[in-house]
Chain A
Amino acid sequence: MAEQTPEYKAGRAKFLEEAGVAFDRMMKEDQEQMITFDQMEDRALEVGGQLQRWLVEQCLAKAARRKAAAPPACCPKCGKTLQFAPAPKERRIRGRTGEVAVERQEGYCPSCRKAFFPSGPRVEAGG
């Protein structure tokens, strides 16, 4: 069972709110367009997809906050400390649930003249 921090509680409340919006979209809105099975299924996929993407984005944001608190990462090639831009960089990642935004700190190594997306003190595979 996850620790019931205020952040967790706020997140959970937000989720229930989002789920409520999804439910209303499914059960209340444009009911005249919900006649055939395909129409119902399409709507369920649409609202479910939105909810899935929202959940993935929340998880990503949590991971980003955790990483921001970690010690500065080093260049995986030369080992020197990376320079970081003041604001995290937004990347769009396409996944099975659709496209989600990922905010990641891009580190730049002035010696190697290369930029990386380190996951913390050590860089994850694939940048």
Chain B
Amino acid sequence: MKLGVEGYAPALFRKIVSQGARYAFAETAHNLQELAGQEISAQHVMRLTERIGTEWAAQRDREVEAFKQDRLARTYTQAPASAVAVMLDGGRLQVREDPSGPGVQKPEWNEPKYGCFLTLDTKPTRDDPQPEPPARFLDRAGVPTLVRQVQRLRAASTTREEPRKAARPAKRRKRTLPSRILLRTVIASMAGVEVFGYYVAVEVYKRGLDLAPRKGCICDGQKSNWTVYERHLKAWGFIPILDFLHLLTYLYAAAQAASGTEKERWARYTQWLTWAWQGQREKVLVALNRACQRAGEPPAGASESDPHCVLETARTYVTNNCDKMDYPRYRKLGLPVSSAPVESTIKQFNKRVKGTEKFWRPKAAEAVLQVRAAQLSGDAREDRLWATPRPLRAARYKPLRPAA
């Protein structure tokens, strides 16, 4: 009958856990009472969600072991015929000491890691399909907002955000292109980069993404992302691609930090951005070197926002990632140049796990991330996981009296 020891019918049990991974536990308990007439405490929702998430995490770890021993089976029998993309990034959530007494003890920020695995409906082309940068990257009014948005995603969020201006009435934007994403699956974990690398490798292998004809790994400049790439994805032939939006923010900041009038600074930014978009990396690097030389050495004890430091940071960023900035080639291959899908995936996770009042025990956070990742994956993964037999659990530990 697939009844667990929890005292809930499987369908109701799934509803509870499913809601517990989407909303705060107290909110879930309230919603279940209000919408389904089911009386359950927030604490119990947490317990049940954590139990299922932990079971799924254990199953994932078994798959990693099987992968290491070359025994893991692929989920899909056919390799993707089009392009695929792996996008990795880190998020933020607050953790607390575990075990600890009541209340939040030793809170600190932690960086969970997220991976987004996409099959794309794109075709390779002989010529660059978009040789000129998109208009919104050259929109004088829009670029500062775009830069702020990207920087906000990267910010630690430990500080209170500045109050936003009242939003302009939303314009109905015409969607010109259909979505190119055929399938998205998602993984998330609190594990370190070493272990997370294996989770990425397992997901790629299970989905057969390593067999795709065109494949790219798109990340920002964070070192841990590229460590995963070097250890697991490079050997499979994934092409490393630096997220263009992050590069844009560095170029914009550097152009603003360099001397000159507002008009000159904007002209400098558009020039650097166009070079970067067209893959003329050497020109960008030479220009940044020149700007750094002109600015001179940063004064002792200069802050991060000091113009010298901003220029130096941009130069280091471009130097370190120069080999991942051949954007015309990536576009010809039909590969994305932006890691926006993983950023939006992180936003979906953040809605559940990040908040000023949310302090997770690492184990509970890991469990909730597993359930949420299954929900966000587009391959009916959640259904499959629920259909998988759960580990045997003893009904109770008190022995029965011997039969009469």
Query: Please, which residues of chain A bring their CB within 8 A of the CB of B404?
Result: 86
* A45 CB, min distance to chain B CBs, angstroms: 9
Q: Which 10 A-B pairs have the closest CB atoms?
A: A95-B9, A125-B389, A126-B4, A114-B394, A108-B400, A126-B390, A115-B395, A125-B390, A127-B5, A127-B393
Q: With A86-B403, A115-B400 in contact, do A127 and B392 touch (Cβ < 8 Å)?
A: yes
Q: Is A85 an interface residue, CB under 8 A from the partner?
A: yes
Is the pair B399, A113 in contact by a Cβ cutoff of 8 Å? yes
A106: which of B1, B15, B395 is its contact (CB, 8 Å)?
B395
Q: Is A28 an interface residue, CB under 8 A from the partner?
A: no
Q: Is A117 an interface residue, CB under 8 A from the partner?
A: yes
A105-127 Cβ-contact flags toward B at 8 Å (1 or 0): 01010100111110100011111
Docked CA distance A116–B5 (Å)? 9
Is the pair B394, A115 in contact by a Cβ cutoff of 8 Å? yes
Query: Please, which residues of chain A bring their CB within 8 A of the CB of B15?
Result: 96
18 contacts between A and B (CB under 8 A): A63-B1, A85-B400, A86-B404, A91-B3, A92-B7, A93-B7, A94-B8, A94-B12, A96-B36, A102-B3, A115-B396, A116-B395, A117-B395, A125-B391, A125-B392, A126-B3, A126-B4, A127-B3
A127: which of B12, B395, B398, B403 is its contact (CB, 8 Å)?
B395
Q: Apart from A76-B392, A126-B4, what 12 extra A-B contacts exist at CB < 8 Å?
A: A83-B400, A83-B403, A86-B404, A91-B3, A93-B7, A102-B1, A110-B399, A113-B399, A115-B396, A115-B400, A123-B392, A127-B395
Is the pair B7, A91 in contact by a Cβ cutoff of 8 Å? yes
Docked CA distance A63–B1 (Å)? 9
Q: Is B151 an interface residue, CB under 8 A from the partner?
A: no
Interface of B is mostly: loop
Q: Is A84 an interface residue, CB under 8 A from the partner?
A: yes
Docked CA distance A77–B394 (Å)? 10
Q: Which residues of B contact A (CB under 8 A)?
A: 1-5, 7-9, 11-12, 15, 36, 38, 389-404
* A105 CB, min distance to chain B CBs, angstroms: 11
Query: Please, which residues of chain B bring their CB within 8 A of the CB of A63?
Result: 1
Query: Please, which residues of chain B bring their CB within 8 A of the CB of A115?
Result: 394-400
Is the pair A124, B2 in contact by a Cβ cutoff of 8 Å? yes
Docked CA distance A93–B11 (Å)? 12
Question: Which of B2, B12, B395 has the most CB atoms of chain A within a 10 A radius of its CB?
Answer: B395
A46-78 Cβ-contact flags toward B at 8 Å (1 or 0): 000000000000001001000000000000110
Query: Please, which residues of chain B bring their CB within 8 A of the CB of A95?
Result: 8-9, 11-12
Is the pair A83, B7 in contact by a Cβ cutoff of 8 Å? no
Is the pair A106, B3 in contact by a Cβ cutoff of 8 Å? no
CB nearest neighbor in B for A76: B392
Question: Which of A84, A86, A127 has the most CB atoms of chain B within a 10 A radius of its CB?
Answer: A127
Is the pair A113, B397 in contact by a Cβ cutoff of 8 Å? yes
Query: Please, which residues of chain A bring their CB within 8 A of the CB of B5?
Result: 126-127
Docked CA distance A60–B3 (Å)? 12
CB nearest neighbor in B for A108: B400
Query: Please, which residues of chain A bring their CB within 8 A of the CB of B2?
Result: 124-126
A94: which of B7, B391, B395, B400 is its contact (CB, 8 Å)?
B7
